[in-house]
Amino acid sequence: MKKQLSVIMVLLIIVFLGFAIVIPVLPTLVDTSNFTIMLSVYSLMGFIMSPVWGRLSDRHGRRPFIMIGTILYSISFLIFGLAGTNLPLMYVSRILGGIASGAVTSTAIAYVADISTDEQRTKSMGLVGMSIGLGFVLGPAFGGILSKINIELPFYLSAVLSFVAFIVAARSLPESLTAEKRVHPANQPSRWTAFQGIVKYLYVISFIVSFTLAGMEGTLFYFEAARFHLDSYLFGIMFLINGLVGAVIQGWFVRKYVKKGTEERYIVIGLLLSAAGFFLLLLSSNIINATIYLSV
């Protein structure tokens, strides 16, 4: 299980690196409207396609769709690197990247659920969260630092990493969903059954949090640039620190302290801290305070 979980963690790091790598670079390539639309279209495609990929993986297994997602991801990065200032190609890249992220993320999380026992699931999902946090760490850092060498370099590097992830998945990731556990189309429940009971509230909370974070990421560069005169390099460092804090919380705190039955308490605490951090971010008077409040 440890080897399989390690491979999944690498895949998730690459997926969220792909989302975050453009955050410090895109504002220097496109105007405000196109920047926010590109972030939105990526997230929208992932949102639309995740349940589609999930249902397909329930029928045909996880491994094929993880591999499809990683190779599509590699292609999307390559397209973006070759796009230069060609807006249509940039949009094609982000749309394809969003579709690929839906494939990798939904099936990778399902894969972890397949290979984890009930006792292991919280810890395993904590590692999933840590991987996502590391992706957010490495993305802006790569984008901000490597763009100083060449503006296309972060995307070419991500294309190579995604292709390496595809090779690793092909060689080292066995199928987690046995044939007898797969769902026949005739027996597959409606997707709306997932919104029944208490789970529907978790979906609503997740949507609000994701919506808020996406909006913040789409405007923060311009806010910080206007107030503190940040460039893409410093913005990348700011997100690097933020991502490191998130990775520590997910990889250490959640695994150590969040036990079965205590999740509700920590969800409430996390939401309150996030709200306080966003409010204080607006009042920040220097880049150090802004970084601290962003990390909250």
Share of residues in the chain with pLDDT > 90 (%) = 6
Q: What is the mean pLDDT of residues 166-183?
A: 77
Lowest mean pLDDT among 134-143, 161-170, 257-266: 257-266
Is 23's pLDDT higher than 80?
no
Res 185 pLDDT > 60: no
Token pair for 231: 């460039």
Provide, rounded to the nearest whole percent, the portion of the chain with pLDDT above 70.
89
C-alpha–C-alpha distance, residues 103 and 84, integer Å:
26
In angstroms, the CA 251 to CA 271 distance is 18
**236 pLDDT tier (thresholds 50, 70, 90):** confident
Which helix H or strand E contains 267, and what residues bound it?
helix 263-283
Model pLDDT, residue 71? 92
Query: pLDDT band for position 95 (50/70/90)?
Result: very high
Give me the mean pLDDT over the 96-119 stretch. 84
Task: Indicate the average pLDDT of the chain.
Answer: 80
What H or E segment, with its residue span, contains residue 221?
A: helix 199-228
Average pLDDT over residues 140-155: 81
pLDDT band at 72; cut points 50, 70, 90: very high
Element housing 112 (H / E)? helix 87-115
The answer, yes or no, to whether residue 48 has pLDDT greater than 80, is: yes
C-alpha dihedral (186, 107, 154, 165), degrees to nearest 10: -110
* Most confident option among 46-55, 89-98, 162-171, 271-280: 89-98
State residue 191's pLDDT score. Answer: 56
HSE value, Cβ hemisphere, 13 Å, CA-based, for 38? 27
Global confidence as pTM? 0.75
* Cα–Cα distance, 280 to 285 (Å, whole number): 10
Q: What is the pLDDT of residue 187?
A: 55
Indicate the pLDDT class of residue 193, thresholds 50, 70 and 90: low
pLDDT at 117 over 90: no
pLDDT at 91: 93
Residues with Cβ within 8 Å of 116's Cβ and at least 6 positions away in sequence, in order, are 1, 124
Alpha-carbon separation of residue 145 from 21, 93, 157, 245 (angstroms): 10, 22, 13, 19
pLDDT for res 96? 93
Q: Categorize the per-residue pLDDT at 141 as very low, low, confident or very high, splitting at 50, 70 and 90.
A: confident
Whether pLDDT at 92 is above 90: yes
Query: What integer is the mean pLDDT of 14-41?
Result: 79
- What is the model's pLDDT at position 218? 67
Q: Which domains does the chain have, with CATH numbers?
A: 2-295 (1.20.1250.20)
More confident residue, 69 or 124: 69
The first and second tokens of residue 105, run together, are 């993320």
Q: How far apart are CA 134 and CA 139, in angstroms?
A: 8
Question: Nearest 10 degrees: CA dihedral of 245, 48, 33, 205?
Answer: -50
Residue 167: what residue type? Answer: I
pLDDT at 75: 94
Q: Quick one: tokens of 72?
A: 């599509």
Q: Provide the pLDDT for residue 208.
A: 79
**Which DSSP state fits 1?**
-
